[in-house]
Structure 1
Amino acid sequence: MFSGIRLAWRFFSVVVLIITIMAVSVYLYSVPLVQDKVYEIERNSARLALDNVYKLADKAYANLEGFKAQALDANKESLRAVVTLTASHIESSLALAEANQIPAANAWQQVFASLRHFTYGNDGYIWVVDHQARMLSHPDTRYNGKTLASFQVPAVGVIAPMIAAAIRSGEGFYQYPWQRVAGQQPTAKLSYVKDYPQWQLVIGSGLYLDDLEAAVAQRKQQAIEEIRKALSTIRIADTGYLFIFDQQGQIIAHPNTNIDQTNAIDLIDPASGRRIVEELIEVADTGTELSYRWDKPDDPGVYRYEKISIVRRMASFDWYICATVYVAELQHSSMILSQRIITITAIAILLALLLALYFINLISQPIQTLARTAERVRTGDLSATSGIDRHDEIGTLARTFDSMVYRLHSNIQTLDQSVRERTHALAALEERQRLILDALPAQIAYLDRQLRYVFVNQGYAEQFDSSKAALLGQHMSQIAPPDLLAAIAEPLQQCLNGHPTTYEYSFNHQGRTRVTRRQLIPDYAGDQAAAAEVQGVLVLSLDISHEKESERRLAEAQRMQATGQLAGGLAHDFNNLLTIILGNLSAMQASHPGVNPTTSSPDTDAPLQHHLAPAIRATHRAIDITKRLLAFARRQHLSPSLTDVRPLLKETALLLRGSLPDQLELTVVCHTPLALCIDAAQLENALINLALNARDAILQQRPTGPGRIGFYAHQQTLPQGLQQTDSHYDDDVPAGTYINIGVYDDGPGFPAEVQQRAFEPFFTTRASNNSGLGLSMVFGFVKQSGGFIRIRPATTDPEWADGEGQSQSKDPEKSADGAAISLLLPLNSLSLSAPTPPETTASAATEPAPHPKSDADNIDNNHWQLALLVDDDAAIRRLVRPWLLALGYVVVEASDTNEASDLIDSLATLDLLITDLSMPGNRDGWQLAQQARQQHPHLPYLLISGSPSHPEQPTDHGVLLAKPFTRDAIHQAITHAVTQSTNGPSAAGKLTPPIQPDHHQTEQ
């Protein structure tokens, strides 16, 4: 192999010598040390196993002692419970005997007789002794009726002092010797004794401690079994083991079942001639080991095998725990390890020699290759290279020899590979960018300076209902519509001039109006700072339709909320003014009757009545406008009840029939009964308003007809809800079940600009005298009822069938002519409104009350009574005061609740309280009424309010009168309050709803 290479042979010899010296050194230095350390580790493992077993036994002892203490405590509690149960039995037996009139002596005899037969547990019983030391009850008949001094038992000298001690201390536990009931030999007993002085008795019960010791012994045996199982699983080396013995040589636990629970006291150490048990006890807890010779299980009777044992004493059980193992087994592991080290060393030497041969061959082969390559170069082959690449002197020589050829070849290959990798990376990057740009929620395009598309993403192509491939290379004028080109001409030119621009643009796409925010960014050919020419335009467009719609809805909601708050505030102040105006006009009309319209009797004040009547009618019209404002502000009082929509629609149609000209047809389409919890009166009022609006719209377009108006209703379930942008309702509709009630007409319909403002208060397109509150009132009622509303074009020809409402037409909301206003009301409208007032109260609010001064009522006009009138408006107090005087009340006034509170505290009697709900002072009108009720529990009170909001339901009862009101209305309310306080309320726990005066009667 190494022929002709002397250097290789020399190097190989040196390597062999070095490897041999290292192998011998490793053996002499490590093998003896390893043997000693392994032997020590094996000995320590025996000691560790011994410590673990000792801990296990010690833990078992601790558990045993704890069990003993717990068992004793549990038995004590049982004794205490038995004595307590006995006392309860005696007490119940005596009570039963007394109830049955059994003499006490007989009752006690029965009690003692029953206690003699009462036993529990293992020989447990009850005994009873009186304070004269006489045994009254005992299961052993020898002791019953005898004194303790006469007992023929060894413990009689202990029992008497125990009874005396129990009488002194009341109770206690005592231990003494006593025989079992069926036995003769006394044994230790623990008794619980308690004195019952009410009966002059001492009751006791006990347990025999040998029963407790038996349970403890059983628990100890269980612990030994657990330790025995643990010992059977422990091994030291191959055959080493642990066992437990006591002072007498009894084997407590041994893994060998033939030796377990035998006695080893007679086993002799053949070397010393002494008992092996005694030698093991002597080395216990000394830290030293006992070395001796013993036989093996496979070679019994031959005591020549060296063995060591380690012993620890466990004082709690008086046990000795021993770990024993054969020395040969401890040395066996070290010998095996030493042999393995020698084997590994030999293998390492062999491998080192093989590696040396391989290494020398690696050295010799390049030298031969360099020689052959040099010969080729010498002959003129400049393309020859050695191909050797090493990091040693030979490698340096080889690289120097062929570096030029190798470097040139390597550079060409590296350049080709770099070009291929870069091309692949750019293609992957372009694909990722394309995917990202297509996935963005934006429209992106790039145009060159000639406005030709160089790049578009998927969103931009979809905007023009085209593909990306179709747009590339096209001029913008060939793709974009003319209106778009005109809108972006100026921003586009600014961008081409180097100025980034941003603008918004609206357009119709797939039937929907979309609003986009577009940003034009110039792309420079060179450095922007050097004022380079713009070579292209980057177009970035974002769809902000939802954002704009949200802004519009928020602004509309804020405007409607502000308008509602303004309407509510105006209604409160306006009601106060109308109260004064209507009250004074009605009083003036009453004092100047003028011409009676029923008898046509002349009167000198007829000219005055000519002016008063229009003023009163105008006041009532102002009241109606105020109600409409409250309805729009969603603050009107609703009285929802379960209503069948189908008869309500038909009744509303019958009511409207007289208000419609003959050329207008009115139909109702409602196929099935529809139950809805709603304020039926307000719903009917809303339908009438919508129908009259439809009538006016039709007659304005076609004064001579014909025309058609229709009501329809059906149940509609929306599992997913509706979006406002798709459904055209006033807001997003959540999922649920609804009743869809609508009014249809074939009139001119609503223009788009009118639909945007149709529900605003005071907005109207009519030139006639109209308040413009009709649709706003309907809108407020629907929202207060938790519903939704929308205006849509209706069908041209609904083809309504007969009067039963059966229609064979298509959905009337899907037409482009006429108008259909849909009210989408939830089935749970009841929870959104105020509670339904009692029927008796509602009827009282609508029926006219008789004049208090002309008809008999609950107020004695011949007897003056005291009334407190509280209102911060002096004009209202001046208006109401004479009305109260006419009823026979002496009136005391207050302008705030602080003054009224002081008057309530100072007045000895008070017969009526009239107060406004919203009052200056430390409390409101409702709290003032509660104070008055505390001072005068049966005080009738009347709350007046110009505000649409009402107080929470009170704990007592009163009447609420809404402003404005007339004299007849306040007289009727006072009559109702007095009757309610005298006879009790008709509906417990509810405030009487606001009484609305009949304004049509007051106009007469």
Structure 2
Amino acid sequence: MSIDDLTAENRSLRQKLKALEEEREAWRKVQFIANVADQLLTMIDRNYTYESVNQAYCRARGQRRDDLVGKSVAEVWGQTQFDEIIKPKLDICFSGQVTSSEDWFKFDGRELRCYQVTYNPYHNHLGEITHAVVVTHDITDRKRAENGMKQANDRLERRVQERTEALEQANAQLRSEIEERKRVEKALRDSENRYRSVSRDMPAMVCRFRPSGQLTFANLRFYQQYRITDETLAGTNIFDFFSSTERRQMEKRLKSLRPDKPMVTYEQRTQTPGGETLWRQWTDRALFDDDGTPMEYQSVSIDITEQKNVERKLQQAQKMEAIGTLAGGIAHDFNNLLMGIQGNISLMYLSIKPHHLLYENLRSVEQLVDSGANLTRQLLGFARGGKYVVKPVNLNTVVSETAALFGRTRKSVRIHEHLAPDIRLVAADRGQIEQVLINLYLNAWQAMSEKGDLYLSTQNVAIDENFVKSFKVSYGDYVRVSVTDTGRGIDPAISHRIFDPFFTTKDFGSGSGLGLASVFGIIKNHDGIVDFESEPDRGTTFSIYLPVSQEPVREPAKPPVGILKGPETILLVDDEPYILDVGAKMLKKMGYTVIKAACGEDAMTQFSQTQQRIDLVILDMIMPDIGGGEVFDQMRKIKPDVKVLLASGYSMGDAAEIMERGCNGFIQKPFNMEKLSHAIRSVIDHGHHQPVS
């Protein structure tokens, strides 16, 4: 071959080399973007071996790329961590599913940090899953990205500089370089496709922009959110996506970034045109030149709406639990006061005939006591003791009967029932559930300005673990009752307060504000869920979920009639003097011999001395020194067959534990002489008694 031919070939090879240099430079830009990203990116093959890692990942581990590529994941992270945390996620990924988790890791013995790790399946040109692209996002602290990846370029430059004077040797060397660059080019294209897959599937929105706001890069999620394309990217300003107030806040945050504090994270609340509230977490990071001047900014945004909603529901549940405790205490004390009044009324009835001038006054006072007792039942329904007598209940029957009752009194409301024919039984206090439904009907009636359509439906549902996460109940089989109105809906500004006791939107004096509060408390105490959906001017749907029961339905007992008497001896225990006094008088009027005890300790003393004479103990549940539950347990140790009737201003829900330990009966204050007499005879004569409220 002549010198001219070699020279021509050399020139041709140089032109090809130049073309490859230009392509390689374009690829270097892509690699530059990948390597300065905050995310830690790795490529793992189906043998659980690292095939590729980015510079951020190397920095996080404190290792070189050559120390990781080619090694197994188990070797890098340790066998235990690989088996328990990483391998299960990789197996899901290799099955074709994208999976993501948040885990705490220590990279190379450094501080414990939290990372969001997303495993993305990578498909080759044949559609086969050959690798897992793992995106690790440091959500504790973002670290500056560093430039890197010069290996192929350095090798190429060294070889070009080391050319010999011999033309044949130079051409041979150039041909060798071209072949190597072809291999590098293919590897870079493959890597580019993998990183494009990562960018496409990344759950966060990512963009870069200049200090002026001009966008220089955006991933697919960002394109979709703000409806931009590759063609419109360069002409788009990120500040145009925000209101003037949000823009000023964003500019202020960006100006506060410095080389020693290059990153800021904040939350942003926005509202869709449809009125839906969305939350996003933004992380802005500045990239500085050598003089400390910002060259470019990077923003990463994650949707945290679901997390915010869960936090809000948990806060609401905690608040309602605290208020419920207070409401229960108030109701207990108020019931004790009503007991004193009711007891004295019962005694006065014995001395006053129906034609007496004061008889009607007594009836009025008794009606007021009943009204007060109803109010405390609503308070107790909201508080922790909402369940009285729990039995298997068919909710279709309860819904139909309460709807019929409500329809007779509110004829302006059109009622539509859609009840599942195969509805399952639930474990519930029927009276309490009737109160829940009536309260929901009344609430709907008021929301519709007393006229409209009311839709009632029942359905068997299976609730999963994700749904119950913020409600603190067990997942499984439930029955759902939905009450839907066509009213004005609930203002989003007050939706978080609708279950608060005494909160009402009605005019002063038009309502107590206890309706929805008691709904919440009763369903909560049945281990159920109350949820709602509402749109302004389009109505509201309240849904209650009650757990399924397998017990058969039993016929209810007939209510007692008349005052029953007896000759037995009764130990009456109560720490309220006025209740102790009126209770003793009532019992004596029924013919019983009464021994009084003013506290738990006094009760134990009296019982130890006179246990053989005592036929029944009427025991207050809440006392300051020794509670009724402990007194009951100690009495059972002294006399295992002792008969005890538990009495309390709280409801059966609070007494359930004592009842399960063998207590013979329960009666809720306030009660009249007739109810008390039947409760006493039931326990003494039969050894057990159905709870009375």
Instruction: Tell me the TM-score range normalised by the shorter chain.
Output: 0.5 to 0.7
Which residue of the partner structure matches residue 849 of structure 1?
562
**Matching residue's letter, 2:691:** P
Q: 1:972 aligns with which of 660, 670, 678?
A: 678
1:455 paired residue number: 217
Structure 1 residue 714 displacement after superposition: 4.0
CA distance in 2, matches of 1:505, 1:836: 53
CA separation in 2, counterparts of 1:733 and 1:458? 39
| Cα 1:534/1:629, change in 2 over 3 Å | same
Give me the whole-angstrom Cα distance separating, in 2, the residues matched to 1:583 and 1:563.
30
Are positions 1:897 and 2:594 aligned together?
A: no
Change (3 A) 1:829 1:474: farther
Show CA shifts across 1:597-651 (max 9, x none).
Answer: xxxx463x58xx65x6655444332321221122223523344445444444443
Please point out which of 234, 237, 242 is paired with 1:476: 237
| Whole-angstrom CA distance in 2 between matches of 1:437 and 1:591 | 88
Name the residue aligned to 1:759: 499
Matched with 1:446 is 208
Relative to structure 1, the CA distance from residue 871 to residue 957 in structure 2 (aligned partners, 3 Å threshold; closer, same or farther) is closer
Contact 1:837–1:992 at 8 Å: present in 2 too?
A: no
| 2:459 pairs with one of 702, 715, 739 | 715
Is 1:490 the counterpart of 2:249? The answer is: yes
User: Which residues of 2 match residues 145-156 of structure 1 at below 5 A?
Assistant: none
What CA distance in whole angstroms lies between the structure 2 residues aligned with 1:959 and 1:580?
21
The answer (yes or no) to whether the contact 1:755–1:791 under 8 Å persists in 2 is no
Flag the 1:470–1:818 CA change in 2: closer, same or farther, 3 A.
same
Report the CA distance shift for 1:879/1:830 in structure 2 as closer, same or farther (over 3 A).
Answer: farther
- Among 702, 722, 743, the residue aligned to 2:483: 743
Q: Deviations over 1:141-187 (max 9, x none)?
A: xxxxxxxxxxxxxxxxxxxxxxxxxxxxxxxxxxxxxxxxxxxxxxx
Query: SS at 1:625's partner residue?
Result: helix
Is residue 688 of structure 1 aligned with residue 447 of structure 2? no
Q: Is the contact made by 1:916 and 1:925 (CA closer than 8 Å) also made in structure 2?
A: no
- Asked whether the 8 Å contact 2:682–2:689 carries over to 1, the reply is no
Separation of aligned partners in 2, 1:687 and 1:889: 42
Cα gap change, 1:644 to 1:769, in 2 (>3 Å): same
Aligned to 1:540: 300
Partner of 1:921: 626
The equivalent residue for 1:947 is 650
Counterparts of 1:622-701 in structure 2, within 5 Å, are: 622-660=372-410, 662-670=411-419, 672=421, 674-677=423-426, 678-698=428-448, 701=449
The structure 1 residue matched to 2:286, chosen from 522, 529, 543, is: 522
- 8 Å CA contact 2:325–2:383 kept in 1: the answer is yes
Query: How far apart are 1:830 and its partner, in Å?
Result: 5.4
Specify the SS of the correspondent of 1:921. coil
Partner of 1:502: 265
1:498–1:753: structure 2 CA closer, same or farther, 3 Å change rule? closer
Q: Secondary structure at the match of 1:756?
A: helix
Alignment of 1:975-986 (within 5 A): 975-980=681-686, 985=687
CA 509–422 in structure 1, closer or farther in 2 if over 3 Å, else same: farther
Hey, what does 2:538 align to over in structure 1?
Answer: 817
SS in 2 for 1:924: helix
**CA displacement at 1:740 relative to structure 2:** 3.6
What is the CA–CA distance in structure 1 between the aligned matches of 2:572 and 2:474, rounded to whole Å? 49
Decide whether aligned partners of structure 1 residues 965 and 470 sit closer, same or farther in structure 2, where only a CA change above 3 A counts.
farther
Query: Which digits, 9 at most, give the CA deviation of each residue in 1:554-584, with x for residues without a partner?
Result: 2122112222333333333333233224334
The correspondence for 1:992, drawn from 665, 682, 689, is 689
Q: Please, what is the CA RMSD of the aligned residues?
A: 4.1
Q: Could you give the per-residue CA deviations for residues 624-679 of structure 1, whole angstroms, max 9, x where no partner exists?
A: 1221122223523344445444444443333234422x444344343736352344
Aligned residues: 517
2:331 alignment partner in structure 1: 571
CA-CA distance at 1:454 after TM superposition = 1.1
Q: Give the 3-state SS of the residue equivalent to 1:449 in structure 2.
A: coil
Question: Are 1:504 and 1:515, in contact at CA under 8 Å, matched by a contact in 2?
Answer: yes
Report if the CA contact (8 A) 2:468-2:475 is conserved: no
1:473 to partner: Cα distance = 0.9
Q: Could you tell me how far apart the structure 2 residues matched to 1:653 and 1:945 are?
A: 33
The verdict on how the C-alpha distance between 1:536 and 1:737 changes in structure 2, with shifts beyond 3 A counting, is same
Q: Quick check: which has more Rg, 1 or 2?
A: 1
Cα distance in 2 for residues equivalent to 1:917 and 1:747: 44
| Matched AA of 2:667 | L
Aligned pair in 2 of structure 1 residues 692, 830: CA closer, same or farther (>3 Å)?
A: farther
Using the TM superposition, give the Cα deviation of residue 443 of structure 1 relative to its aligned residue in structure 2, in angstroms. Answer: 1.6
**Residue type of the alignment partner of 2:342:** L
2:501 aligned counterpart, secondary structure: coil
Contact 1:639 1:837 in 2 (8 A): no
Alignment of 1:794-943 (within 5 A): 817-826=538-547, 828-829=548-549, 839=556, 842-843=557-558, 846-850=559-563, 852=564, 857=565, 859-860=566-567, 866-907=569-610, 909-919=613-623, 920-921=625-626, 924-931=630-637, 933-934=639-640, 937=641, 940-943=643-646
Shift of 1:411: 11
Assess, with a 3 A threshold, how the Cα gap between structure 1 residues 471 and 829 changes in structure 2: closer, same or farther: farther
Q: Determine the C-alpha separation between the residues in 2 that align with 1:519 and 1:671.
A: 49
2:542 is the alignment partner of 1:778: no
Alpha-carbon offset, residue 447 of structure 1: 0.9
| 3-state DSSP of counterpart to 2:562 | coil
Q: Which residue of 2 aligns with 1:290?
A: none
Q: Per-residue displacement from partner, 1:24-82 (whole Å, max 9, x unpaired)?
A: xxxxxxxxxxxxxxxxxxxxxxxxxxxxxxxxxxxxxxxxxxxxxxxxxxxxxxxxxxx
CA spacing shift, 1:972–1:929, aligned 2, 3 Å: farther
CA distance in 2, matches of 1:441, 1:434: 14
Matched-pair contact (CA < 8 Å) for 2:604–2:635: no
| CA 1:733–1:914: 2 relative to 1, 3 Å | closer
Matching residue's letter, 1:992: H
Structure 1: gaps spanning 5 or more residues = 1-401, 795-814, 986-990, 997-1004
Q: Which amino acid aligns with 2:456?
A: Y
Partner secondary structure for residue 992 of structure 1: coil
Alpha-carbon shift at residue 487 of structure 1 (Å) = 0.8
TM-superposed deviation, 1:880 = 1.3
Letter paired with 1:712: L
Aligned ranges for residues 294-305 of structure 1 at < 5 Å?
none
- Mark the CA change 1:972 to 1:543 in structure 2 (over 3 Å): closer, same or farther: same
Matched letter for residue 522 of structure 2: F
Aligned mates of 2:202, 2:660 — CA distance in 1? 60
Which residue in 1 is equivalent to 2:36? none
Contact kept? 2:209, 2:215, Cα under 8 Å? yes
Which residue of 1 is the match for residue 370 of structure 2?
Answer: 620
For 1:931 and 1:788, the matched residues in 2 are separated by: 40
Aligned-pair CA distance for 1:904? 2.5
- CA distance in 2: counterparts of 1:449 and 1:956, whole angstroms: 76
Structure 2: how far apart are the matches of 1:782 and 1:711? 20
Which residue identity does 2:501 align to in structure 1? Answer: P
Residue 821 (structure 1) shift: 2.6
* Cα deviation, residue 968, structure 1: 3.3
SS where residue 751 of structure 1 aligns?
A: coil
**TM-score of the aligned structures, taking structure 2 as reference length:** 0.64
Q: In structure 1, what residue type is equivalent to 2:278?
A: R
Q: Secondary structure at the match of 1:893?
A: strand
Contact kept in structure 2, 1:721 and 1:733, CA below 8 Å = no
Q: TM-score, normalised by structure 1?
A: 0.46
